[in-house]
């Protein structure tokens, strides 16, 4: 289970970096997505500045998902049964990030896909079931 715990920490760390980048560079990201505008835009704001709040919101959601992964991984020593389900669900939420990373840097998207799939598969293996179902006396 140590490998699943490390895997979840790595995925959560990558998500945390992405979330911080989205929050701190929200105007630049929004400008890259929605553009600078043209002569018909109002004098004081550009479409990138108008949509920066949406990018910050997305960054905060990504940070919340990363916090979920870290919290679940840190609670593994308790061997609570619901943590196995939480790890499985976290793997499924990490999977769409591979598509997002693939849009930016294709190699990073493929590199992210492998740990995300492993995070889905590892909680369903028999040793994972046995480890989480263990009841200490």
Q: What DSSP line would sit under 2-24, residue for residue?
A: HHHHHHHHHHHHHHHHHHHHHHH
Q: What is the tally of structural domains in the chain?
A: 1
Residue 54 has pLDDT above 50, yes or no: yes
Instruction: Provide the Cα torsion 61, 35, 26, 91; round to 10°.
Output: 30
Tell which residue, 109, 131, 118, 127, has the closest CA to residue 9.
118
Q: What residues have CB less than 8 Å from 97, skipping those under 6 apart?
A: 11, 14, 15, 18, 112, 116
Q: Please state, in angstroms and rounded to a whole number, the distance separating the CA atoms of residues 68 and 12.
A: 8
Are 60 and 23 in contact by the 8 Å Cβ rule? The answer is yes
Are 30 and 87 in contact by the 8 Å Cβ rule? The answer is no
Q: Which pLDDT belongs to residue 65?
A: 92
CB-CB neighbours of 133 under 10 Å: 10
Q: DSSP letter at 44?
A: S
Q: In terms of residue numbers, what domain contains 122?
A: 2-133
Q: Where are the alpha helices (DSSP H) in 25-45?
A: 26-34
Q: Which pLDDT belongs to residue 128?
A: 83
What confidence tier does 137 reach under pLDDT thresholds 50, 70, 90?
A: very low
3-state secondary structure of 38: coil
Q: Please state, in angstroms and rounded to a whole number, the distance separating the CA atoms of residues 55 and 46.
A: 15
Q: Which pLDDT belongs to residue 43?
A: 66
Mean pLDDT in residue range 63-67: 93
pTM of the model: 0.80
């Amino acid at each position: 289970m140590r490998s699943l715990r490390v895997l979840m920490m790595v995925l959560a760390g990558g998500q945390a970096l992405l979330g911080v980048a989205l929050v701190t560079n929200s105007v630049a990201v929004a400008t890259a997505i929605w553009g600078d505008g043209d002569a018909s835009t109002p004098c004081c704001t550009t479409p990138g500045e108008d949509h920066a709040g949406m990018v910050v919101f997305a960054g905060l959601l990504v940070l919340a998902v990363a916090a979920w992964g870290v919290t679940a991984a840190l609670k593994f020593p308790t061997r609570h049964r619901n943590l196995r389900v939480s790890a499985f669900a976290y793997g499924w939420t990490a999977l769409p990030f591979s598509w997002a990373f693939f849009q930016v840097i294709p190699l990073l998207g493929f590199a992210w896909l492998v740990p995300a799939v492993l995070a889905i598969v590892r909680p369903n293996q028999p040793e994972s079931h046995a480890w989480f179902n263990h009841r200490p006396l």
